[in-house]
Amino acid sequence: MSSRAAGRGEGKPTLEAVAALAGVGRGTVSRVVNGAAGVSPRARTAVEQAIAELGYVPNRAARSLATSRADAIALIVPETETRLASEPFFASIIRGVASEISDTELQLLLILVSTERERRRLAGFLDGRRVDGVLLVSVHDDDPVVELLERTGLPTVLGGRRSELEPLSYVNPDNLGGAWAAVRHLLGLGRRRVATITGPMDMEASCVRLDGYRRAMEEAGVAVEAGLIAHGDFSEESGERTMTELLDREPAVDAVFCASDLMAAGAMRALRRAGRRIPEDVAVVGFDDSPVARHTEPPLTSVRQPSEEMGRAMARLLLEEIATPGRSHRQIILSTELVVRESA
């Protein structure tokens, strides 16, 4: 019986069958499978052709032991299950990450961490080196999860950052430019009582979007009034609540920039309940350009942040850091774009 027949006819192909078909030793096949050096181009090609012909699948557990690799990465979201399910942003990030690693042999683990108990459990998991690297989104100031990741020394890429001085690798949308463009658009429509609803102020994204609001107002010579600034938490409920509060204390408001589409949807509900027409009485702009923006009534003008591309870029950076330990950290800022619809 030929080597080819043996490889295909006697069950699952083995390392030895690949070696026999390629005409090389078992060690050479092992080095090719593990991506190690010390193999000639001719031998590598022969092994790769034999693997393809036999349909050989490397033993993941054995390979992980040989290379000290877990063949897995973690995507950590320091939020509750409710928040994860309600915000389209997270789904886009997950889709982007999964797409980027689809051609690798890495498994993607989704880990939610919102309590002290869950953080302790995560610490044990990471200390056990059960993943080769970590992606973290929804970054909050003084988040103990970030400090934990720094302590473990695992390759880490953030979706967002703690500040402009962030030492870790990260991918971030242009929050300042996006917010500035949104408010500049509202001012260009002739609106002068422009309010804003921010996200949580322990997140750099919220602070920078507020900075963009302030910059656009100041450049237009319009006073920034404390009464026109309200603070939400990116949720639809907080948008509705804070818009109601804004109308109570600033009834002449004629536009509002919301730091997320969900908050904008909530604000629009509060405006309708108060008898305000959109956009005739109050123009509304959101941030994300998520599917929510296309399904509000009227459709929502919003700042598009490329969330799915953000996930892909995060995964690319992490794969590079895993492949090249000790490489310098990188920071990527992705462009945003104002998408104009009927709400403004």
Nearest to 175 by CA among 186, 164, 167: 164
Which residue did the predictor score with more confidence, 71 or 343?
343
Between CA 87 and CA 262 the distance in angstroms is 8
The pLDDT value recorded for residue 15 is 81
Range name among 21-35, 48-62, 132-146, 194-208 with the lowest pLDDT average? 48-62
Give the single-character DSSP code of 228.
G
pLDDT 10s digits, 76-90:
999 889 989 888 999
Phi, psi of 74, deg, nearest 5? -110, 140
CATH number of the domain at 15-67, please?
1.10.260.40
Mean pLDDT of 167-178: 96
CATH class of 72-173+308-334: alpha beta
CA distance 137 to 145: 11
Distances (CA, A) of 169 to 92, 138, 327: 20, 15, 11
DSSP code at position 226? G
Asked if residue 319 has pLDDT above 90, the reply is yes
pLDDT greater than 50 at residue 302: yes
Q: What's the average model confidence in pLDDT over 275-289?
A: 97
Three-state secondary-structure class, residue 139: coil
pLDDT tens-digit series, residues 240-272: 999 999 999 999 999 999 999 999 999 999 999
Read off the pLDDT of residues 189-237 as tens digits, 9 standing for 90 and up. Answer: 999 999 999 999 999 999 999 999 999 999 999 999 999 999 999 999 9
Query: Residue 28 has what pLDDT?
Result: 83
The dihedrals phi and psi of 107, each to the nearest 5 degrees, come to: -95, 145
User: Is the pLDDT score of 35 beyond 60?
Assistant: yes
Kindly tell me the sign of the dihedral angle through the C-alpha atoms of 107, 290, 242, 269. Answer: negative
Helix, strand, coil percent values for the chain (each to nearest 5): 50, 15, 35
**Residue 62: per-residue pLDDT:** 54
Residue 153, classed as helix, strand or coil, is coil
Q: What is the pLDDT of residue 59?
A: 62
Residues of the chain with CATH 3.40.50.2300: 72-173+308-334, 175-304
Q: Identify the pLDDT of residue 51.
A: 87
Q: What is the average pLDDT across 317-334?
A: 89
Confidence at 67, pLDDT banded by 50, 70, 90: low
209 neighbors 259 (Cβ within 8 angstroms): yes
The pLDDT score that the predictor gives to residue 143 is 84
Quickly list DSSP for 198-217. E--TTSHHHHHHHHHHHHHH
Statement: residue 69 has pLDDT above 80: no
Reported as a pLDDT band with limits 50, 70 and 90, residue 9 is: very low
Residue 123 has pLDDT above 50, yes or no: yes
- CATH topology classification for 175-304: Rossmann fold (3.40.50)
How much is the mean pLDDT over the chain? 90
Q: Where in the chain is the domain with CATH 1.10.260.40?
A: 15-67
